[in-house]
Amino acid sequence: MPLTDSLRDDILASVPSLRAFAISLSGNGDRADDLVQETLLRALANIDSFQPGSNLPAWLFTILRNLFRSDYRKRRREVEDADGSYAKTLKTQPAQNAHLEFEEFRAALEKLPQDQREALILVGASGFSYEDAAAICGCAVGTIKSRVNRARSKLSALLYVDGADDFGPDETVRAVIGGSGG
């Protein structure tokens, strides 16, 4: 499909979530934005292969994921960041409203195996269906479901179950109930 105005707008509209996905995958703002840039270049270069009416975000996420998994490191300097300001924005912004808990969550997420982390993010944060997530990751729907389940169990173990031994169940339960409201 040719790059129409509306398609271009739709691609731009996907940038915020592509960045969020890239940061979740790479755990690093600089790498993430390089990855997004590379994704956009790829997408535009291959726009003819996009099927009109199909899921554009899923198509873009697939490109980004494949790049992350293959050779984007080699290509990341292809287009230089002129002033580096976007990277600074990325690093300071989350820190401003970061609680310790937020950092802990991030750290726990980093500990998940790649397969599980991406499945959890696609389904739990990006809002893709299991079917779309499976298409993005090139695997069966059942595989995605089990990865998401394992990711949740592992995060729960890392964040809450271990903590329960340290602070006792009452603390944990109170923290959980207190935090989930609103």
Partner 1 sequence: MKDVKSQASKSAVPGKQGGLNAEIQSRIGHQLRAMYDDVVRQGVPDRFADLIRKLDASEANSQLGATGETKNDGRD
Binding test (CB under 8 A) with partner 1, winner from 25, 35, 37, 61: 37
Q: How far apart are CA 15 and CA 21, in angstroms?
A: 10
| Dist CA 24 CA 101 (whole Å) | 16
Q: Which of residues 114-173 bind partner 1 (CB under 8 A)?
A: 120-121, 124-126, 152-153, 155-157, 159-161, 164, 169, 172-173
Among 1, 107, 140, 176, binds partner 1 (CB under 8 A): 176
Q: How many residues bind partner 1 (CB under 8 A)?
A: 53
Torsion of CA 60, 137, 81, 97, to 10 degrees: 100
Report the nearest approach of partner 1 to the CB of residue 134 (Å): 19
Is residue 107 a contact point for partner 1 (CB under 8 A)?
no
19 close to 57: Cβ distance less than 8 angstroms: no
Half-sphere exposure of 36 (CA within 13 A, CB side): 25
Q: Is 62 in the site for partner 1 (CB under 8 A)?
A: no
Contact between 109 and partner 1 (CB under 8 A)?
yes
How far is it, in rounded angstroms, from Cα 155 to Cα 172? 15
Q: How far apart, in whole angstroms, are the C-alpha atoms of residue 47 and residue 83?
A: 29
Query: Using CB under 8 A as the criterion, which residues of the chain lie in contact with partner 1 when the complex forms?
Result: 3, 8, 11-13, 15-17, 19-21, 23-24, 33, 36-37, 40-41, 44, 79, 81, 86, 89-90, 93-94, 97, 101-102, 105-106, 109, 120-121, 124-126, 152-153, 155-157, 159-161, 164, 169, 172-173, 176-177, 179-180
